[in-house]
Structure 1
Amino acid sequence: MSQTPTADQLRNRLVDEILAEHRMPAAVERAMRTVPRDAFLPGLELESAYTDQAVTIKDNPGKPLPLSCASVPSVVAMMLEQLDISAGDDILEIGAGTGYNAALLAEIADRGSVTTVDIDPDVALHARTRLNANGYEHVTVIERNGLLGAPENAPYDKIIATVGVWDIPAAWWDQLKDGGRLVLPLRWRGQTRSVALTRRSNQLVSDSMELCGFVPIIGQNGEKTAPLNADDTIRVHYDEDQDLDPDALTATLQAGAPALEVPSAQRVGGEEPFDGVWLRATASDDRVCRLEVTPQALEQELLRKPVMPVRSPVLVEGGSLAYMTLTREGADPERPFRLGAAAYGPRAEELARDLVAHIDAWGSDRLAVPQMTVTPDDKTSAAGHTISKPESRITLAY
């Protein structure tokens, strides 16, 4: 009769599974084998605590995303690698969550300090309680709007955000040491990337960028959503600096004309990622948004199926739009799918060909990642394509 695995066995098994798929620095591995994730998720089945999945700890009634959750362990490990902590570092975490990530930070920083901030009193109390119960009384937990940081313990060697951030607050600049490192799930043009940035005087310069998804921080409202049909089953998500005409787009889709389809030259395998198309498009094109199509809209065949119905890159201009599609073609068994564009509206052909150009540009170097340079104002500029936000300017260049 087999014995039920212990928490230690399950924790080590999870770390082994992550290591089989991803790199993990030795200090991060030690911390993840040491800190009991189950102790920060009381009431959850032991097996579930050590599965590579997110766990909701507080719902957000009426909203599609939870208010707070425990992040996917492999994503936690990835972001800790990006943060590149040294023993003795002073660290600020934005988004306390369960307290688990703060405990990991404390293990890795060793003789340093960890301050974690959360706007929600229940979440902050949960983190404080769990940290105390597991020997991390020295971690500072503050109930506060994370956009304000924690000036009382600044400056910091490292700042990490565990919530989606649309703009980099001026307060974080003030609290990060020159030469310090900021890792955050940054949102622009409908996508989210975990970006690792090093401060160089009045610039933040990236050296790592990974696809991820996080609950958005409370208090930043630069992202907008517009329904494109009466049933609200087709939506476009866009940034406040983008000029959209939802009524014109709605009229285009209501007209019921078939999609104009343009294939690209790029094929992909069944497990091959192609999110880099979205990333590359944002480095040169301000028309990039996110299209969301619900299962109901697909069942009603209101439009050609997007490559990823819930979150597809789309080019939008006036009453026209073009988004990515995936078509199975049997000619190449290694890469049986062809990427392409489906477009609607008076400028359908132009937008479709522009999107295909982005796809083909990605295909010329599929692993390429742009360098991001962030400045707090207009006084310092970097070469590349710039996206301006209220508190920062983001420049992307390949």
Structure 2
Amino acid sequence: MANRVKQIHNFGQSIWLDFIDRKIMDSGELQKLIDEDGVRGITSNPAIFEKAISSSSDYDEDIKKLAKEDKTDEEIFYGLAVSDIQRAADLFKPVYEEEIRGADGYVSLEVSPHLALDTEGTINQARELWKAVDRDNVMIKIPGTEPGLAAIQTAISEGINVNVTLLFGLDRYEAVTDAYISGLEARLAAGQPIDGIASVASFFLSRIDVMVDPLLDEKGLGDLKGEVAIASARKAYEIYKRVFGSERFAKLKEKGAKPQRLLWASTSSKNPAIPDTKYVEELIGPETVDTVPMETLEAFRDHGVAENRLETNLDQATAILEKLKTGGIDLDAITQKLEDEGIDKFNKPYDKLLAAINAQKKALEAV
């Protein structure tokens, strides 16, 4: 039987892996995922790196070396991360250089989550990381917070590929598309090429349901459990098609601009009552990306069903969001709360990561 994960690509969606460490590259497992499952990119975040660095000795020598250069804990982390991202980007270079160059093959590295509400700090670090990684097929992750919008626009205008992260709400998503297009327009106005720039907007899914589902029973809407995030994603795709089918974007498309694809993130089921492949299966559709953790990829490989479902039940998606409103559930307030908590959820593993590096640094110095 054909590989189920690979079948997803037949419907115009790219599967990226939400995981990175040295072991997966050293063992050849990542190359196997590229070859056999058709994995077409990688995303990383502080929690992923924290787990990789604190749970193995693979990074000890580099930590020791960087510590001797009087680097701060954060500088040591980015030294390790940049090295891993470069290796992964080189593994994905053949995917990046396929017939439609730059359609896929991207590896994402995140700016410090402490900068989520700092526009200038984000811009400066995005520039530094882009220069340090020095690979065309890398994306710098910038949170889609309100202060992040100007940073996204500036980064795009400077030719930096951007993965916009931490998106929950539809209004904010539309603002992100405007930041992307404005960045392209500014770059074009400055006489710079725009045909080599790529961006994705990462729309977080299962966390929406985790927060909304407990409220549904209270409002007599229990039948909508596990459906609100998917309905939101379908409405986001409607926005995507409208924005990137507009006359405004058509002018940029003539100069080689690519649409900023929607990327489905947080696609593992947090609720045991929801099937483990649901968030993947329901949102397969053209011109999209889905970034999946390893366990979700393995689950889909085992029993997932690949079908083009993204634009089915659009009327139902509209009705679901309308029911929330009439039921007194404020989805905008919920998505803002998720963004605020999301910043905190990224800060904690980041701080834990820096503490782990500090501990390993001291332990290695004592040897």
**TM over 0.5, yes or no?**
no
By relative contact order (CA 8 Å, sep 6+), the higher-ranking structure is 2
**Bigger radius of gyration:** 1
Larger helix percent: 2
Larger strand percent: 1
What TM-score, normalized to structure 2? 0.30
